[in-house]
Structure formats: C-alpha cells, structure tokens
Structure 1
Amino acid sequence: MFPVAHLIGPGGAGKSTIGAVLARRLNWRFVDLDQCFLSWHGHIGDLIDRHGYAGYARRNIQLYADLRHRVAEPMVCALSSGFMTYPSDIAPAYPSIRSSIESDARTALLLPALDLEPCTSLIVARQLSRTYLKASAESEARKIRDRFPRLMALNCARFVSEGPVDAIAASIERFIRDSLARA
C-alpha cells in the first residue's frame, strides 16, 4: 500500500497551499479533497442548499473512501475543513475512516495558531479574503470556535501554519520522512 499524508484543519489553515508545496518536495501526488468534490459533484454550497450539510458530508466521506481505495502512488491529501469534525453517526464507515486518519503517523493538523483567539482572528481574515466563499465574519468565527476544541482533541501532530510556506512544508516533510523511516 502506498503512503498517504493527510493534512487536516479548518478552512484557511493553509492545507491546500502547503500541501501542494509539500507534495512537490516529496515528489508525491497532491490531492485536494475540496477540488475533487467540485469536479465530481459541483459547487459545495449548492449541494448543501439542495441536500443539507449531512448530505454533503456523506458524499464527501464516500469521495474520500473512493480516492483512498484507488491510491496508486504516494499522496498528500488535503481534507475538507470539517472532515474530522463530522458527527460520528453521519455515515456507517465514518468512525473507522476518521480513526484511521487520526491514528496515521503521517497525519498533520494545520492551524495558524494553537490558541483559540489568535487562530480565530487569522482564519476569519483568511476566509474573508476568499471572494468565492460568500462568508461572513460571524459565520466563520462561529465555525472555527465550534471546531477548534474538536481539532485540538485529535491525537495527531500539530503544525502552526502561519509563516513562510516553504519552511512549514519543510517541517512537515521532515515529520513525514521520519514516520516513513520508523515504518
């Protein structure tokens, strides 16, 4: 089985940006789950409007399972912002998938700060700069405040994603190479 490095964290944490650099450094394939979702299912917001957040989450879990099943080369996978915080009963396979990702030695949680208030401020600013999101400061702050404790409770490596992208990617690369050497 080919190794997969998972990048998890809230929207605006840098998973896609750092993940692309990290994949190049490792000479691995880069997969952004949100981009795959857009290609396969269309706009996430439109799908949520039609099927609710639970319908989106179930499709996202299935998409991840399908992608994971077809891994044919080493891969860096940036997961969707809420992926690790879905309710455990959202889909039958989800608890096992979530546990597998959390316990994997190559899973990295990215946050711009490890304290709630600075993390919230940075995430809100980043998300509001994305014109395609149609986000409000209040909704983004509520989302990160809700997810932050659940993300911090995960038993995986944490990386601060505020700073030079190359330096952060290099740090995660060392972490991944060390995990591969121990395997």
Structure 2
Amino acid sequence: MTNPGVDGSSVIELVGPGGAGKTTTGMALAARLKSKFVDLDAEFMARNGDVSAFISRWGYEAYAARNVDTYLAIRNPSEPPGVMALSSGFMTYREDIHPVYAMSRQRIASSALTFVLLPSLELDECVAEVVRRQLQRPFARTPEREEQVIRSRFSVYANLSARKVVTRPAVPVVVEEIMALLSTGGSDVNQRTRSGAEGVGTA
C-alpha cells in the first residue's frame, strides 16, 4: 500500500477526547511519514480566533458548524495534509449541524485511515488519565467539568467503527502501532474493529 500522506491522495485522521494525545501523536506520525500535519483546532483559531471566545459570542452550535467548514476547507484542497488531528468534539456534533456533516462523519468513522486515540479502553481509567492530562493544560476546565465531558463522550469514541489505539505508552510506541496497522491496509479493518469494540469497558 502507498504510504498515506506521502502521495497526497489520502489523509490519516486522528479522533478522540482532549488529552488523548492526538496532536503529539499526529506530529510524530507525520514526521515519520514525511508528510504534513494539521491540527483542526489550530486551524480554526487561525481562521476564526480563540475557540472559547467564539463560543461565548456565537454559541456552541455556530462553532460546530464553522468547525465543519474549517475541516472541509483543509480536507478537500489539491494538496491535503497527510495527518490531521480532529477537534475533540468533532465526532459528537448533531447530525444536522452542517449540510454535509453526517456524510463526512460516516466517512471518517468507516475509513481504514482513521484511528480513535484513547488513553485506555476502560471507561474509568480513560476518564482518570484524560482529566490528569487536561488539568496540565493552561486552558483546562475544572476537574469536575473535564470528567463530565469525557464521561459523556466516551461511548461515542468507543462505538466508532474506526480502529482504536491506546495512548498510554510513549509516543514512539503509539506511532509504531499505527504504522503497523497502516501496513495491513483496510482488508481486516472490520475484524479488528469488532474485536477492539468488544474489549471496550463500559463500567
């Protein structure tokens, strides 16, 4: 299989909660593939200003719709990125938030080049690690709010049909796992997804 991100014909998309390691992993993966990395949050801010300020002024739904516009603008040019980290809430928007969101979400979720990054496939372990990581960031919400967000979204990430990658190990180890999965192509994606989903804890 041709390395995604090298010929510009396909994009590896990383989804998951805040604190899952999407940006750090994405940068390292893009460097390994010698391709361009794009962080959707950073692109949104470059085009629209601070996310929190935008939401405060226009509301969350307006932000979500604009973020889909931003995603499409990045994803569809003649030279798309090789690796893209999606916003933490991107896969949790209402289906009618944007005219093409439902179709885009389905494509992302079913692609062999999409990886769901989670610190753990067990709910409570994932929550604890996400909260710990998020509180180290300067823009962190309260611990209670961070926990509420990941608990409400965990099942969305866990039930996506894309393959899951646990990000508790060091970044180079995570990158090697993704590279190994990429080398298999898409032929066994459904089998791997089913087996991964069966191991996801919901306690």
User: TM-score, with normalisation over the residues of structure 1?
Assistant: 0.94
The answer to whether the Cα contact below 8 Å between 2:23 and 2:85 also exists between their aligned partners in 1 is yes
Report the Cα offset of residue 92 of structure 1: 1.4
- Structure 1 range deviating more: 14-23 or 82-91: 82-91
Match of 1:96 in 2: 103
Match of 2:158 in 1: 152
The separation in 2 between residues aligned to 1:9 and 1:38, in whole angstroms, is: 19
Q: SS state of the match for residue 165, structure 2?
A: strand
The answer to whether the Cα contact below 8 Å between 1:9 and 1:81 also exists between their aligned partners in 2 is yes
Match of 1:77 in 2: 84
The separation in 2 between residues aligned to 1:20 and 1:70, in whole angstroms, is: 20
Per-residue CA deviation, residues 49-85 of structure 1 (Å, 9 max, x unaligned), is 0111101100100100111111515510000000011
Match of 2:5 in 1: none
Match of 2:93 in 1: 86
- Indicate the RMSD between aligned Cα atoms, in angstroms: 1.6
Q: SS state of the match for residue 72, structure 2?
A: helix
Aligned residues: 181
Which of 25, 30, 37 in structure 2 is aligned with 1:23?
Answer: 30
| Structure with the bigger percentage of helix | 1
Judging changes above 3 Å, is the alpha-carbon distance between structure 1 residues 170 and 71 closer, same or farther for their aligned structure 2 residues?
farther
Q: Which runs of 5+ in 1 are unaligned?
A: none
Match of 1:169 in 2: 175
Moved over 2 A (4+): none
Q: Is structure 2 residue 117 aligned with structure 1 residue 120? A: no
Q: SS state of the match for residue 108, structure 1?
A: strand
Give aligned-pair identity as a percent.
40
The separation in 1 between residues aligned to 2:186 and 2:103, in whole angstroms, is: 22
Judging changes above 3 Å, is the alpha-carbon distance between structure 1 residues 162 and 134 closer, same or farther for their aligned structure 2 residues?
closer
Q: How do residues 26-45 of structure 1 correspond to structure 2 at under 5 angstroms?
A: 26-45=33-52
Counterpart of 1:103, as a letter, is S
The separation in 2 between residues aligned to 1:44 and 1:57, in whole angstroms, is: 10
The answer to whether the Cα contact below 8 Å between 2:92 and 2:153 also exists between their aligned partners in 1 is yes
User: TM-score, with normalisation over the residues of structure 2?
Assistant: 0.85
